[in-house]
Amino acid sequence: QQPVQSPQAVILREGEDAVINCSSSKALYSVHWYRQKHGEAPIFLMILLKGGEQKGHDKISASFNEKKQQSSLYLTASQLSYSGTYFCGTDHQGTYKYIFGTGTRLKVLA
């Protein structure tokens, strides 16, 4: 069951904030967030582990609600470089068998 992301697409002006949500129908061990630009490989943004541990970049924040099986990625003061498709990757068993979400296309305009 593929995690569902919302919104599917969002357009922002530079400096605006955005929230991207990821919802799973199964209990989660960890949630990863990746950004992929067109024609490029996905790059790691954030990992959130069951129990509250987080690892990621300083300018990215995220939350992980274990009970609701949801995660949200918070993008503040967006920059042009934030444009791309964002994927959450959910891991249910503590392995790297990630199930990636449906994706959110984000475009930041000058």
Binding site for another protein (CB under 8 A): 2, 29-30, 32, 34, 40-44, 47, 49, 53, 55, 87, 89, 91, 93-103
Pairing of strands 9-13, 104-109: parallel
SS3 at position 61: strand
Contact 35, 104 (CB under 8 A): no
Minimal distance in Å, beta carbon 96 to another protein?
5
Minimal distance in Å, beta carbon 8 to another protein?
11
Residue 55 or 68 having the CB closest to another protein: 55
